Amino acid sequence: MAKVIFYEKPGCGGNARQKALLAAAGHRLEVHDLLSHPWTAGELKSFFGSRPVAEWFNRSAPRVKSGEVVPEELDEITALAVLLADPLLIRRPLLESGHRRETGFDTALIEAWLGPLPSAEVGEGCPKGQEATPCPAPHKPSFP
């Protein structure tokens, strides 16, 4: 099976279930803290490919849910600056295997790329739902 580099928000229950699925499928995981990784704009952009800017963002992030950050209103350069300043806004997990990088845990995409998973029950998004209190942010970065 494949080695998968997995960038997560430590303590995220959804990321824990996603990692468990990948491990159960036989993949070797190399896990990194998405929030403390020293991202560059180019490295981060490489995970988004040709996805629209709005799909780069974690819809469960408090600043997105509150309307403070509206991904649909941002151009690529501004979006990257915002994401670099506040990594909690980055859609997660970020995944890398071989020469490919992806964002989010789209089960169909993952299975087409890495092979079948033991269960398709875990997808993207916070398992607590959109109306739940978000997990605490480890820090409050300044907004550019």
103 phi and psi angles, rounded to 5 deg: -125, 145
Mean pLDDT lowest for which of 15-19, 50-54, 136-140?
A: 136-140
Question: Radius of gyration of the chain from Cα atoms?
Answer: 15
Catalytic (active site) residue 12: yes
Q: Which helix (H) or strand (E) holds 13?
A: helix 13-24
Using DSSP bridges, classify how beta strands 28-33 and 3-8 pair: parallel, antiparallel or unpaired: parallel
Eight-state DSSP code of residue 123: -
Confidence of residue 137 (pLDDT cuts 50, 70, 90): very low
Query: Pick the catalytic residue: 12, 21, 82, 89?
Result: 12
Q: What is the DSSP letter of 127?
A: T
The three-class DSSP label of residue 14 is helix
Strands 28-33 and 100-103: unpaired
- pTM, 2 dp: 0.83
Model confidence over 15-40: pLDDT tens digits? Answer: 999 999 999 999 999 999 999 999 99
User: Given this model, what pLDDT does residue 71 score?
Assistant: 98
Question: DSSP for 22-81?
Answer: HHHTTPEEEEEETTTS---HHHHHTTTTT--GGGGB-TTSHHHHTTSS-GGG--HHHHHH
pLDDT surpasses 60 at 127? no
Per-residue pLDDT tens over the stretch 78-118: 999 999 999 999 999 999 999 999 999 999 999 999 999 99
CATH 3.40.30.10 assigned to domain 3-114? The reply is: yes
Domain spans of the chain, in order of start? 3-114
Is the predicted pLDDT of residue 142 greater than 50, yes or no? Answer: no
